[in-house]
Every structure is written in structure tokens, then in C-alpha cells.
Amino acid sequence: MADKNDYLHEVAITAIVVKDDKYLITRRSKEKRRFPGMWTVPGGKLEVSDYIDLPKDTTDYWYNVLEKVLRREVKEEVGIDIKNIEYVTSLATVHADGAPSLVISCLADYEAGEITLKEDETDKFEWVSLEEAKDYDLIDGIYDELVMAESQRKGTKSEWNRSS
């Protein structure tokens, strides 16, 4: 039988946000514990408080929890609203501090708002093309996710693999 802790993971969700055929990337604050100063896409962690005090959608379940978390995190982190959230891929890791994480990566369209950075999270942002993204110090795997998102926007869905 599996140890109860085998089922405990941080759950995070990220948004590859598209506006005018460009992708939003942000630079993590140099004060961040994980990946300081590296470029990524906005997102954040699921917290029990994201649903526990809300009425359930059915007798037993809350629905659209990750979508709500993603909208909240993007709004908090970069100040914009998103729409048309679609699944792209997922990844798992065990961080140096021993915490296992599951990250769900999504594609979303920019809806409204001006970029306003939450400076303890991110200190810079850019809207970049896929080609321009190559010039940034992205967290390993993010560029490959951008390639997947670009393909998905053109109607081709795929599983993650290392891009050239």
C-alpha cells in the first residue's frame, strides 16, 4: 500500500497568454526561492481556500477549480484578465527542498487589462514571438511549451517533447 504522502503534491497551473500573436513571459523576482531571475509564464499554486468556502457545483464536487485559480493567479501576478483556457501539457518535479509539484500548463487568450506586475513575484515582462522567446533565459521546458501552444493554436495538438 502506498504511503499517504505519496498522494500529496503542490498543484500549480500556468498560462501561456496570447495577445496579437505574441506570448506573455515574465521574469521571476530575484528574491524567489525557486528559479530566481529566470523567465517563465504567469501562474501559481492551487490552495484549498480556492474552493473550500464556495458552494459545491454538484452534491460532492467543485468544478472549474483550476480555471478559477489560473484566472486569479494571472490577475494577481500580472494584472490582466484571460479567457478561452485550454490544456496544453503537464509536468511533475521534486524540488531541491523535497516538495513534489504537479504543474498544469494551459493556453489562454488575453481578454483585458494593463500589465501591472506583482513585484515580489515578477520584475519584468515581455510580449514575444516564438522566435524572440529563444533570446530569454527561460526555465527549462518553457520554450517547448510555447512551441506546443503555437502548434495548438494552428490546430495541431501534441504531447510535450524537446524542441530543437
**Residue 107 and residue 145: Cα distance in Å, rounded?**
9
For residue 161, being part of any structural domain is answered with no
For the chain, strand residue ranges (E) read: 10-19, 22-28, 39-40, 43-45, 81-94, 100-112, 122-128
Helix (H, G, I), strand (E, B) or coil at 126: strand
- CA 94 to chain centroid: 17
In this structure, the number of other CB atoms found within 10 A of the CB of residue 146 comes to 24
**Residue 67 and residue 19: Cα distance in Å, rounded?**
19
Total domains, the chain: 1
pLDDT at 118: 87
**Residue 1 and residue 11: Cα distance in Å, rounded?**
23
For residue 125, being part of any structural domain is answered with yes
* Mean pLDDT, rounded, for 79-93: 96
pLDDT at 4 over 70: no
For residue 163, being part of any structural domain is answered with no
Encode pLDDT of 5-46 as tens digits: 777 788 999 999 999 999 999 999 888 877 889 999 999 999
* Mean pLDDT, rounded, for 85-109: 93
* Mean pLDDT, rounded, for 59-66: 94
Contact 23, 108 (CB under 8 A): no
- 157 pLDDT band (50/70/90 cuts)? confident
- Measure CA of the first residue to CA of the last residue in the chain; give whole Å: 41
pLDDT at 1: 45
pLDDT at 112: 98
Could you tell me the residue range of the domain that residue 80 belongs to?
Answer: 4-153
Instruction: Work out the burial of residue 110: count CB atoms within 10 Å of its CB; fewer than 13 is exposed, 13-18 middle, 19 or more buried.
Output: buried
pTM above 0.85, yes or no: yes
For residue 87, being part of any structural domain is answered with yes
**Residue 149 and residue 84: Cα distance in Å, rounded?**
13
* Mean pLDDT, rounded, for 83-97: 93
For residue 164, being part of any structural domain is answered with no
Encode pLDDT of 106-155 as tens digits: 999 999 999 999 888 899 999 999 999 999 999 999 999 999 999 999 99
**Residue 32 and residue 113: Cα distance in Å, rounded?**
25
Q: What CATH number did the domain enclosing 87 receive?
A: 3.90.79.10
